[in-house]
Structures are given as C-alpha cells and as structure tokens.
Structure 1
Amino acid sequence: MSVVEENALTQDVFEDLARHAVRADEALRLEFVNGKMGVKAVPDGDHGRIIAWLTQICMQADPSRWLFGEQGLRIESYRKGNARPDASLAPLDAFVGQREWADPSDVLMVVEVTSYDEDTDRRDRVEKPRAYAETRIPVYLLIDRGTCEVKVHSEPDGVRYERVVTVPYGKAVLLPEPVGIELDTEPLKDWTR
C-alpha cells in the first residue's frame, strides 16, 4: 500500500485521483483514511462469500435494508476522509441520488473483512474503527480472518467506540441496535485459510 501524507493531498485531489484510477484499472480501490491515501486489496473468493453470507442474514432480518458492497463513504469529521467499507448496512434508498462518496448518516453498520496483506493491522484494526467512530456510524463489524475472531464495535462517542465485543469463530455475537441481529459465526470457519 502506498501512503501519501496529508500535507500533500487534499480530499478534492484524492477524489479526482480516485475517479481517474477507477477508469484506468477497475481492480484499484482507493481510500483516504486518517489523512493518508491507501489502496485496498482486491477481495478473494472467501472474502466475497463472507459478504454474501452476511447479506443473506441482513436481508432475512429486515428486507427494507440492504448490505451495500463497496459504497464509498465520507468519513472523519476533522480530516474529511473517504472510505470504501467492504459493506455498509443501510435502508434501501439511503444512497439514491448520491455520488461515489456518499453521506454516511443513514448507515447502520459498516463491515470490514480483513485481507491477507501487510496493511490490515493498521487499516482495519486501528484507523478505520477510529474513523467510523468519529463519523458516529452505530456499529462497526470486523471479521478478522487473521485472528479468526469477530469484533463488534458499538456506542461511538465521536472519538472511539466505547464498547467492543470480541468472540472467536464458532460463537454467537449480538449486533446491537440499530442492527439487532444475532450472528452465528460458525460458518466463518469454512472461509478462512
């Protein structure tokens, strides 16, 4: 992952660069988190299966919501960041009429599934929880394939998530309101190498 320090890159410059990068290579996925530009790893087949599994669960729980994959979100109030979570749970019409980097105010939960790259620790375990909490997204679900754990972050106070529940694969965990789903994590054992 290449990183550009915040002094050299503004949000406007980043968004223009991201638009051109998408045209040049559809597999390139850029983010601007914590004042740094990064490139997200292209998801593998197990990653995609985890998102499909979670989408089915969310749809069964409430068909008026959808788990949107790769929707760009404006995050971080003071740094004006841009993230592309693996998935965002929101009402069906939450992003209608919005552009590539949407307002996250209707997002109920963001989901990240760790990749097997060197930036996962910093990006998914440190920077994104802080950025999503600053944005006051109610729930951040981290499916951590490196540790075989699920972490549910909730109760954002504008700086951090005050509550983090960690369970190993195989145990059930509650995705608190406004999501309100109990998640049986047993299937995740089949999609982690």
Structure 2
Amino acid sequence: MRAGYLAILAFKAASAVMGSPTPVPHATPEAGAPEATDGVVQFADLVAAAFDQAQAIAESDAQKRSSTCSWSNIHIRREWGTLSTTEKKAYMTPKSAAPGAKTRFDDWVATHINQTLTIYYTGNFLAWYRYFTWLYEEALRNECSYTGTQPTAVTGLHSSPIFDGSDTSMSGDGVYIPDQEDIILGRSSGLPPIYLPAGTGGGCVTSSQLD
C-alpha cells in the first residue's frame, strides 16, 4: 500500500514539475550529438526533480499525520535476481520458521486455494493479491524474524534465477514431459478461453533447496 501511495506522490510531483514555469536545468549536450540525447537528459532531470519533490511531499504529509512512516523506513521490494545469496536464503529459510508436516505457510496455501474461485475473473483480483502478498510479507517479518522484503520476479520464467534450480532458487523446471496438451482456462465457466501452452518441464523437480 505504501508503494501505491508513493506512486501517487510521484505523479503529483511530476505534474508539479512539468507545470512549473521555471525550466528544469540540464546538461548541455556536446556539439554534433543526436537530438535524442537532449531529450534523454531532460527526462532524467525531470525524474530526479520529481523524485526529490515526492520525497518532500511524503515527509511533509508524515509530519502532518504524526506518523511513524518516513522516507528512510519504507520497505522497497527488489527483483529476485538482484538479491545476494545470503538474502535469497534468508527469504527461503526464515530462522524461526518451524519445520513439520503442518506449518504457518499452510495457512497461506489453504487461503489461496479456498479463494481461487471467488477472486479470479473479478475486478478485485489485483487488489486482493496485493493485500494477500502484503499480509504474507508482514507475517515473515513479524513471525519468522525475516528482515528483508517480499522479492519480485520481472524476468521471463525460463531466464529468471528464481526458477533456475540452484540452491538459491525456489524450484527447478522439473523433468520434461512430452506431448502435453495446452492448459485451457475459462472454458467451463462460459468465459472466453485462455490457452496456456505446455512448458518445458512438468515432471518431478530434482533441483533447488526447497525440493
């Protein structure tokens, strides 16, 4: 939710900067440089100015509300591939997470399963997942002594280190199963079908720390 709030602030700041009668200073490109360079420099300056203004707005609003939130204690989620080995393993194995057949993690799995038919294909889909992920992240920090943030995955599944099968990945691809049919979503409910082609795995996973 903080990320959404900061995004709004950034838009407000960018609008204020763009609407300012005072031009944003920028470096002068070298003679003979492509015209695009000047635009890139101006855009970079605009982003920097918007960032500074968003920071000022956030700090001012926090003071008005007597909030404990500040620019310095915002949790910033990072892409899995940018995390160090230590950070990846800390997320995968929180120190106080108790092993066993029934774990706290089962609560999240069961909730997801039970809510699937209610949440999918609705306007609440993205909002529900953002809240679900935030609650899971808070539980890791407050119940499992985890000090990081919820990682993100923005690269393709086959190129992402989150599923490369290493000891700092969440899983491998599994043994390849040939001649699998496409997965079809929505056909039985009368909605337009969504076809998902079979992947390059599907069988037993034999690699990664979580096997």
Bin for the TM-score computed over the shorter chain: under 0.3
Query: TM-score normalised to the size of structure 1?
Result: 0.21
Query: TM-score normalised to the size of structure 2?
Result: 0.20
Q: Which has the higher strand share?
A: 1
Larger Rg, first or second structure (1 or 2): 2
